[in-house]
Amino acid sequence: MNWLSVIAGAMIGAPLRHLTDRAVRTRLNTAFPWGTLTVNVVGSLILGILAGAVTAGAAPSHLELFLGTGLCGALTTYSTFSYETLRLAESGARFYSVANALGSVAAGVGAAVVGVAVAEAVWG
């Protein structure tokens, strides 16, 4: 039954990714992929909090499957990040391409670190 937790999380994460990306793109109306950056950073933060909670024994395994594998797996998107970075480079927006690649990785890892720190402060 673990797979049901993953499916349930993914059923929320995938539409949430799509809706968030559309909302951010509509508001900012720019070539830079702010929507993808947003969902990836938020997903990294959630996963960092979850990892810290699991380490502290405050989160059960079914929550890890639901939120971590299901929701965060469907919410975040490495393939779209890669595609958008490539499209920026191909269109001549090399600065935006490099900024997206470096900024996404730095912001994602930073969000995960913050998430773990928050979890350790709450449950540590």
- Give pLDDT tens digits for 18-71: 999 999 999 999 999 999 999 999 999 999 999 999 999 999 988 999 999 999
pLDDT given for residue 23 in this prediction = 97
- From the DSSP assignment, how many helices (H) and strands (E) are in the chain? 6, 0
pLDDT given for residue 67 in this prediction = 97
pLDDT given for residue 31 in this prediction = 92
Nearest to 116 by CA among 68, 64, 66, 44: 44
Longest alpha-carbon distance in the chain: 48
Quick check: 1 pLDDT over 90?
Answer: no
Quick check: 73 pLDDT over 90?
Answer: yes
Query: Distance between CA atoms of 5 and 27, rounded to whole angstroms?
Result: 33
Residue whose tokens read 């993914």: 10
Which of 10-14, 31-35, 60-64, 106-110 has the lowest average pLDDT? 60-64
pLDDT given for residue 124 in this prediction = 82
Region 68-87: mean pLDDT is 97
